[in-house]
């Protein structure tokens, strides 16, 4: 279980105090918890499917300085659509919590299975093949997990592996000028020696090292590097001092030595792993999911030239992935897509607020600010941004320092009047 954000296990613990989430999900049993998050079994009311819902305490995340972890996890997971990676369906938020709606892995943690008994070499290979398929895919998408361990590997109802918990992940654009990552992270027994050296490291190489530790644990039932004294354990890791159990085949022993090579430049790569004779036995590559919002590099460049938004923003506006305002305690807001001309949108907003006897404090071509009139501290800002030639994004923000009339004014009075502006087939509205 991640010490920062927490993940879920396959065992029920207690009933959630909440029953309904945004009218979309029913919350059930608490499945697991960490210092900043609890994970519940959930039920998607519309699709009638099981989901896992990670509820993150927003205030604790802010105070703990872990805002970046949450944003990185969302940024990483929305890039990944692979059968052996837990799918992030959407992100929801209110004033107190952020909710990750995740694919439900009924089988629980792989750790709980291997803790009872080591796996056969055949079963170890099967799960390692699924792990490498997932991690190779992550690396091809520019995502490095950096905290791979059996506790972050789940099993679905068919006992297939699912990688989860990307809270410590990194993406390619976090690399520094030397092309390496420099953040110290990971779980001590699984951390690569080059991370301990503090000279920068290749995210792909450290994931391979952790995969090697996992394979060792599956086959042996215990860790290759372990000691009550943390510095002694780190010394063993740095020197690569480990022994394989006597039941390990010569082929697997040789393979583990390549995975746990302390020199990252000579350590085996994903491509070399796939060609290894021990690994190849019974291996079949999987077909990855397609994604409507997935874009090629040239597409990103083209979209970034249109209006004020780029492809990263487009993905953010897809259902459930809007990160704006997640950690803003004062402002709340929504975004939606529209095919109506920006000038007409602003005109319609002005007409609606004047009908409610609110005051237009500022009006520009694609922006209008509204003061609350009788609601002293209420302020509403509506801004239109060009997304494509035909589609715009309408961003609505309100602020109310005393109570909730701002939210009530927008949702119950203004939004219904303006609802026909929303581009229904692709619209998404995310509330804070």
Counts for the chain of helices (H) and strands (E), in that order: 15, 17
Q: Report residue 107: phi and psi, to 5°.
A: -80, -10
| CA distance linking residue 166 with residue 147, whole number of Å | 8
The CB density around residue 29, as the number of other CB atoms within 10 Å, is 15
Per DSSP, what are the bridge partners of residue 32?
39
Look up 276 and say whether it is catalytic: no
Q: How far apart are CA 410 and CA 402, in angstroms?
A: 16
Q: Which residues 6+ apart lie within 8 Å of 305 measured at CB? A: none
Tokens standing for residue 344: 């007409």
Give a three-class secondary structure readout of 185-212.
CCCHHHCCHHHHHCCCECHHHHHHHHHH
- d(CA 52, CA 32) in angstroms, rounded, equals 10
CA–CA gap between residue 134 and residue 83 (Å, rounded): 8
Q: Is the dihedral of CA 163, 263, 201, 241 positive or negative?
A: positive
Task: Supply angle C-alpha 135, 138, 141, rounded to 5.
Answer: 155
Rounded to whole angstroms, how far apart are CA atoms 108 and 32? 10
Which residues partner with 362 through β-bridges?
Answer: 369
Angle formed at CA 359 by CA 354 and CA 363, multiple of 5 degrees? 90
Catalytic residue among 12, 44, 147, 207: 147
**Catalytic amino acids?**
147
């Amino acid at each position: 279980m991640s010490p920062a954000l927490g993940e879920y296990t396959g065992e029920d613990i207690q009933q959630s105090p909440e029953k309904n989430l945004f009218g979309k999900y029913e919350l059930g049993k608490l499945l697991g918890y960490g210092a900043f998050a609890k994970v519940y079994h959930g039920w998607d009311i519309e699709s009638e499917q099981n989901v896992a819902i990670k509820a993150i305490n927003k205030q604790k995340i802010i105070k703990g300085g872990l805002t970046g972890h949450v944003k990185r996890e969302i940024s990483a997971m929305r890039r990944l659509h692979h059968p052996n990676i837990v799918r992030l369906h959407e992100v929801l938020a209110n004033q107190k919590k952020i909710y990750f709606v995740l694919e439900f892995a009924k089988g629980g943690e792989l750790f709980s299975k291997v803790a009872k008994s080591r796996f056969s070499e055949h079963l170890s290979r099967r799960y390692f093949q699924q792990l490498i398929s997932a991690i190779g895919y992550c690396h091809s998408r520019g995502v490095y997990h950096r905290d791979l361990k059996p506790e972050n590997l789940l099993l679905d109802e068919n006992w297939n592996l699912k990688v989860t918990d990307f809270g410590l992940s990194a993406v390619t654009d976090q690399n520094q000028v030397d092309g390496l990552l420099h953040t110290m992270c990971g779980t001590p027994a699984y951390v690569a020696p080059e991370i301990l050296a503090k000279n920068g490291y290749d995210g792909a190489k450290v994931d391979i090292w952790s995969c090697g530790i996992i394979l060792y644990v599956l086959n042996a039932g215990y860790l290759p590097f372990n000691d009550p004294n943390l510095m002694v354990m780190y010394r063993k890791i740095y020197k690569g001092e480990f022994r394989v159990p006597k039941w390990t085949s010569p082929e697997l022993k040789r393979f583990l030595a390549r995975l746990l090579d302390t020199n990252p430049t000579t350590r085996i790569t994903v491509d070399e792993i796939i060609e290894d004779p021990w690994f190849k036995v019974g291996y079949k590559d999987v077909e990855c999911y397609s994604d409507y919002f997935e874009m090629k590099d040239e597409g990103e460049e083209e979209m970034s030239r249109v209006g004020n938004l780029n492809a990263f923003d487009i993905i953010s506006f897809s259902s459930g992935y809007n990160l704006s305002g997640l950690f803003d305690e004062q402002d709340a807001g929504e975004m939606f897509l529209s095919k109506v001309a920006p000038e007409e949108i602003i005109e319609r907003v002005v007409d609606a607020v004047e009908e409610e006897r609110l005051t237009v404090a500022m009006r520009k071509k694609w922006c209008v600010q509204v003061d609350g009139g009788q609601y002293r501290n209420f302020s509403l800002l509506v801004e239109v941004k060009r997304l494509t030639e035909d589609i715009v994004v309408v961003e609505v923000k309100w602020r109310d320092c005393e109570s909730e009339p701002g939210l009530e004014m927008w949702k119950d009075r203004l939004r219904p009047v303006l609802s026909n502006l929303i581009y229904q087939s692709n619209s998404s509205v995310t509330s804070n």
